[in-house]
């Protein structure tokens, strides 16, 4: 007889199911807590009815995708540094730190912190491409003694910082992109970033959005090396496809009521940047208070390709409202620049005379439909000064006198 057929091979075991998501609630009542605050205990299970006290005993990097760490409104915590490098988290199932309950947003305070309360992307020189982190509805304070509020460290992706208040640091958000992945898909939105000693945001991003934020009273010294926001880039790694939209900058880089330093600044190698609907405002300014600076700043090659600067309002800058260099093909349109001071000002200045170190020359700019509002214009002030070859400069107007305070010129 014919031999019996061999038995069918045993199918492989299915992969283990991913761990179920978890939610932990926390309540603590350190200084700054609301009246009636009741602390939790780390012996508790972490439910809303029986919250834990703090993150002690929680390994944030072992949490499953979709985990939530929720802090009681009205509560207050003193924190150190928590480093996130969770390889389970995903953009569609992030690790989320948020608030629960009613009352003021949770207050997380750090003292003399040489790093940041939240280090995202692992330790320095990490190369993992972790990400999927959401921070929302929190107040984060550095006691005016700490370095950074958030450190996006080297290689991290899919980060959302939303409806936060970040104050009392040298730099509120510091992003340092490095090979091989960089810092990608970051959203910073609807946050109040204020009274940080040096800067609101410093660093490099790719495929990221900064939208609807209030940057207020950052850069106490007024130094020209510090700014409300300072973004840069490195060819192919960072500074690519970045949007700044509908942000408000108020009185950054101010000393004794007068702006002396930077507000919204870009240096390095950047490509594909949209700057739209922002409002940058000062009461008074020295000449060096440029409110938007897309300029050379390094001793290495710089360029700003595929930039669009549209429908922004700049108020009371120094001798230049918007300065642009090494930005071939830039489109600048629909902006309003207001100067109520009796000082000289070029509202928009495009072009430069020096292109050393491989800096890309200017050319082919499109500058159109911009308005300068000078109620009491100083002699020689102008709406645009464009010195770049092959540029199109059309329908830019200066409004003076009483008309410079109403209509399109209304503040």
Q: Is 129 exposed, middle or buried (0-12, 13-18, 19+ CB in 10 A)?
A: middle
Cis peptide before 180 (omega within 30 of 0): yes
The residues with which 274 forms a beta bridge, in sequence order, are: 243, 308
In the prediction, which pLDDT does 125 show?
A: 86
CA dist., res. 298 & res. 294, Å (int): 12
In the prediction, which pLDDT does 15 show?
A: 61
In the chain the first and final C-alpha atoms are separated, in Å, by: 99
In the prediction, which pLDDT does 12 show?
A: 72
The residues with which 332 forms a beta bridge, in sequence order, are: 309, 367
Given a contact cutoff of 8 angstroms between Cβ atoms, the answer to whether 4 and 49 are in contact is no
- Multiple choice CATH, 70-409, 2.160.20, 2.30.30, 3.30.1300, 1.10.357: 2.160.20
In the prediction, which pLDDT does 4 show?
A: 64
pTM here? 0.94
In the prediction, which pLDDT does 3 show?
A: 65
pLDDT digit string (tens) for the chain, length 411 residues: 666 666 667 777 666 655 678 999 999 999 999 999 999 999 999 999 999 999 999 999 999 999 999 999 999 999 999 999 999 999 999 999 999 999 999 999 999 999 999 999 999 889 999 999 999 999 999 999 999 999 999 999 999 999 999 999 999 999 999 999 999 999 999 999 999 999 999 999 999 999 999 999 999 999 999 999 999 999 999 999 999 999 999 999 999 999 999 999 999 999 999 999 999 999 999 999 999 999 999 999 999 999 999 999 999 999 999 999 999 999 999 999 999 999 999 999 999 989 989 999 999 999 999 999 999 999 999 999 999 999 999 999 999 999 999 999 999
């Amino acid at each position: 007889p014919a031999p019996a057929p061999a038995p069918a091979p045993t199918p492989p075991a299915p992969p283990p199911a991913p761990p179920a998501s978890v939610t932990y609630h926390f309540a603590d009542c350190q200084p700054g807590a609301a009246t009636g605050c009741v602390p939790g205990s780390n012996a508790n299970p972490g439910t809303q009815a029986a919250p834990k006290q703090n993150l002690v005993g929680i390994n944030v990097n072992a949490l499953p995708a979709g985990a939530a760490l929720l802090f009681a409104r009205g509560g207050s915590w003193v924190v150190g540094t928590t480093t996130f490098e969770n390889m389970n988290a995903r953009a569609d199932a992030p690790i989320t730190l948020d608030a629960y309950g009613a009352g003021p947003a949770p207050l997380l305070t750090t003292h003399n912190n040489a790093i940041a309360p939240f280090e995202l992307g692992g330790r320095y020189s990490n190369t993992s491409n972790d990400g999927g982190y959401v921070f929302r509805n929190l107040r984060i304070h550095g006691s005016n003694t700490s370095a950074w509020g958030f450190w996006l460290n080297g290689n991290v992706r899919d980060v959302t910082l939303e409806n936060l208040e970040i104050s009392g640091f040298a730099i509120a958000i510091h992003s340092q992109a490095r090979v091989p992945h960089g810092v990608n898909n970051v959203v910073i939105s609807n946050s109040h970033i204020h009274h940080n000693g040096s800067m609101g945001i410093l660093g490099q991003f790719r495929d990221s959005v900064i939208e609807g934020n209030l940057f207020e009273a950052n850069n106490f010294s007024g130094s020209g090396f510090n700014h409300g926001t300072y973004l840069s880039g490195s060819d192919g790694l960072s500074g690519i496809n970045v949007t700044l939209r509908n942000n408000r900058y108020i009185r950054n880089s101010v000393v004794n009521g007068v702006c002396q330093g930077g507000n919204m600044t870009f240096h390095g190698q950047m490509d594909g940047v949209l700057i739209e609907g922002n409002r940058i405002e000062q009461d008074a300014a020295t000449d060096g208070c440029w409110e938007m600076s897309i300029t050379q700043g390094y001793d290495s090659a710089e360029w700003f390709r595929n930039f669009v600067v549209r429908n922004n309002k700049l108020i009371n800058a120094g001798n230049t409202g918007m300065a642009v260099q090494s930005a071939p093909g830039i489109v600048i349109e629909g902006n309003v620049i207001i100067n109520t001071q009796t000082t000289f000002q070029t509202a928009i200045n495009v072009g430069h005379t020096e292109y050393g170190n491989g800096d890309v020359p200017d050319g082919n700019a499109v500058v159109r439909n911009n308005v300068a509002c000078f109620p009491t214009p100083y002699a020689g002030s102008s709406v645009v000064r464009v010195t770049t070859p092959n540029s199109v400069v059309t329908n830019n107007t200066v409004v003076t006198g009483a008309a410079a305070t109403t209509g399109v010129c209304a503040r």
